[in-house]
Structure 1
Amino acid sequence: MAKVTVNGIEVEVDPSYTILKAAEKAGISIPTFCYHPRMDPAGSCRICAVELEDSKRVVMSCVTPVSDGMKVLTESPKIHDARKTNLELLLLHHPLDCPVCDCGGECPLQNMSFAYGATESRFESHRNDEPEDLKSDVLVFNANRCILCGKCVRICDEIQDVHAIGFINRGFDTIIGPPLGKKLDCEFCGDCLEVCPTGAITDHFVRYKFRPWQLEQHQTTCTNCASGCQMHVETENESIVRVTSKEGLGPNEGSICVVGRFGFNHVQTPQRFDTPYMRVEHRLVPASWEELLPELGNRLNAIRRKGTDRIAGLISPRVSLEDAYAFQLFSGRF
C-alpha cells in the first residue's frame, strides 16, 4: 500500500491507483472532461492537472500513478492558472452560445468556465465553422461545440465495441463523426450522447423543447426486458421528456440500449387506452372500473364453469415485476 497526502489529507491506497482515484478516496473532487471510470485514461483535456508539492511539477492526475509518500495539491495558485489556461485552449474553438445550447444548465464546460472565470480565449482560432450534421435520425453532431476530449469515440470503441465514430482530419480541421462524413449507422445506444461534456452531441427528439432545470428526475428500472437496467426518467408536467443514465448505477453501469433510452413514447401515445372498455351489444364502450370489475368477474366465472382451460391471460412484457406478479395471482384464481 502507498501513503499519499492530498491537500493535507493522508490516505492509504493501492500502488496501482492514479492520483485522481486517490483524491476520490480522500473525498476530494478533481475536475475532468476526458476521464471516464470505465475507460482507459487519456489525459487529453489537461483539466485534471495537479501539483506535486515536493517537486512543484504539474501532472495530469488521471494518468499519473501514486507513489509512497507523494504529496499532492489540487487547488494551488499554479493549478488554478493552469486549468484556466487549459480552459481557454478548449474555448478557442467553442462558441459561448449557452443560451441556445440544449446542454446549457447541465454543461461541465459551462460550469468550469464560470468557476475559473474563463469567459474568453486569449489565443487565436484558425478553425473554420462547421455546419451541424443533421443526417442522423437520432443524434445531432455540432463540431463547433466539440472540445475533442474523445470520450464519445472511446466509449463507442472500448465499451460498445462498435467504432461508429472517430476523429476525422487533423490539426485545426479535426472533427468527430462517422467515417467519410457518412450518415451515422449504429444501434443508437446513446452512450456518446450521455458522456459528451458539451452540447456537441444532442438528441434530435428533444432539441429546443426544455431546459434541464425544468425537469423532474425519477430513478427507475427499465421494463423493456429482464436485464433490470437502471435509468433516470425525466418529466415535465408529468410527461416523459427524455431518459438518461448515471455512471455506475445498476447492472448496466450507466449504459442503456436504444429501446431503453429512446423507446418510451408508447407510454404517452394518444393511441394508448386510458380508460377500460366493456363490450355491450357487440360494441366496445368506455366504462368505469366500478362497472367493469363486477361484470368481468361474472363473465370469467361463467367461462370457468365450462372448463378452466378455456381461460387464458395476456399481459405486456413491458409491465413491472410487481404488476406481472399481481396479474399472475389474479389469473390463478380462474
Structure 2
Amino acid sequence: MLLAKIFTDDICALRRGAPDPSLGSERERIARLADRAARSAAPVLIESEPGSGAHDLARAIHDGGERRQRPFIRIHGGDPHEGDDADAFLARHLRDAHGGTLLVQDVERLNSSAQARLFEIIAAPDAAPRGTRLPSRPDVRIMATTGFALADEVRRARFREDLYYRLQVMPISLRPLRTRRDEIADLAGLFLHRFAADEGKRIRGLSPDASTLLSRYDWPGNLRQLENAVFRAVALAEGPVLTPAEFPQIAAHVQGFRIEIPRLPQATAPAPVQEAPAPGRRDPHALPLMNDSGEMRTLAELEAQAIRFALAHYQGHLSAISRRLGIGRSTLYRKLKELGLDDAAA
C-alpha cells in the first residue's frame, strides 16, 4: 500500500496548491491526471509495464473521489476463462463493489463473453446492445489496467473495439522507471524514510554514489523492484546512510559499481569453534533482538521483519516465501494482509 500512499500524497499536495518541491515532472503529470480522474465518474484505463503501480494508482484515484467510503474491488482479467459464465463472474463482483469501484486488472485477458458483459455494464443504458439484460447502469465505477498497448490488441481483433473506446475516456499511461532517471533518487528516498521508520533505524538518506547507482540502473521491475531493493538495503544497513554496498544485486548490473561479495571460506577438517562476534559487530543478515532503547523486541516485530525480508528476497513469490518460512500460503497471505503487504505479493 506504500505506492498507493505516495500517489495519494501527490494528489493531495496538488489540491492544496503546494506540491512537494521534489515532485518531478512525471510524478506531477500523473498526479494531475489522477486528480482529474478522481473528480470524475468516467471509466479509467491505466497502461503500464509490470511493477509500475497501476493498481496502486487506481486505489489512489478511488480514495480521492466521492466513492472513497465505498468498496474498492479488484478482479483479474484472466479469472473467467472461455466458456465460463461471465455474467455470474461479473455479477458477483459487481454486487461486492456496489456504490464503489471495480478494478479489472490485465483487462486484455478477459475472454470474449466477459468483454461483452463489461461493455454492456459500462454502456448501459445509453448504448446498451439490443437484448441487453441491464435496464440501467450499475452503480459502480469501472477502472482497468493493462500491460499491453490495447490499441494493438484491437487491431489484431483480440479486444473489442467498442469496449476499448469506452475505457479510453480517461486514459493514463505510466512511463517506465528507466525513462524517469531524474526521479529515481527522490522515489528511493520516500521508500527509505518509510522503511527506516518501520524498522526503527536512523538512516538519513542515500549517499551520492548510491543515488548515482540507482539512477543508472534500468529497473525492469519498475517501482515495485525499487521498493523491494530499498527495503532490503534498509533491513541490512548498519550506517546512517545507504551506500552502493547495500545494493549489491543492483551494482552487479551497473558498470563501475560492481560490489564483490566475499566468498565463504572452504571447510577444512573439523571446523574450529568460532568465538562470539565482537561487541558492536553482527551478521547483517541477523535479526536484531534488541531495539534502540535496549529492550527486547516482541515476537510480532521479529516475525514482521522476517516476512518483509522474505518478501523482498524472493521478489514477492508466495510459494517460495511460504516454503522457506515453513508456513502455509493461506497463513502467509493473512499475515501479509495484516501487515499491509498483500499488494506486493506475486
TM-score range, shorter chain: under 0.3
Considering fraction of residues, name the structure with more helix.
2
What's the TM-score once normalised by structure 1's chain length?
Answer: 0.26
Using CA pairs under 8 Å that are at least 6 residues apart, name the structure with larger relative contact order, 1 or 2: 2
Please say which structure displays the higher CA radius of gyration: 1
Considering fraction of residues, name the structure with more strand.
1
What's the TM-score once normalised by structure 2's chain length?
Answer: 0.26
